Amino acid sequence: MSDGSSYTFGTVVASGMDSTREQVTAALREQGFGILTEIDVQATLREKLGVEGDPYLILGACNPQLAHRALEAEPSIGALLPCNVVLRAEAGGTRVEIMDPVAALQVASGAGVAAVAAEARERLQRVAASLEAG
């Protein structure tokens, strides 16, 4: 796994955006996540600002069981959901950056949220690892 930032982790996949999106979606599904939202940043910037940019997708991934547990522990946590997965074009492939749930949810208090964030992180790290092995 390559280093992301203080709030992401991920990897680079040696394939184009479409193929990588399929791989990411399948890997997320294996860990109990589905895609709730998809934002095509490149298309949005072109439409709204007339700016041409590189391919950039934001996938909003959700594991319903984990989301339910988090909402039960802290009803306002919905403002920090879903877990975002970014796919962006990079020389030689596609960079996949996954939001680190522990970093993102540390603003919430309570052991229940921390436990859910830790489990989500483990599952999402398995997603990144499977993309590297892929």
- Tens of pLDDT, residue by residue over 58-103, are 999 999 999 999 999 999 999 999 999 999 999 889 999 999 999 9
Nearest CA among 97, 103, 101, 100 for reference residue 85: 97
Return mean pLDDT, the chain: 94
Supply the CATH classification number for the domain 2-133.
3.30.310.70
Instruction: Quote the CA–CA distance of 18 and 8 in Å, as a whole number.
Output: 21
Dump pLDDT digits (tens) for 27-43: 999 999 999 999 999 99
| Alpha helix segments (H runs only) across 31-94 | 41-49, 64-73
Phi, psi of 90 (to 5 degrees): -145, 150
Burial of 36 (0-12, 13-18, 19+ CB in 10 A): middle
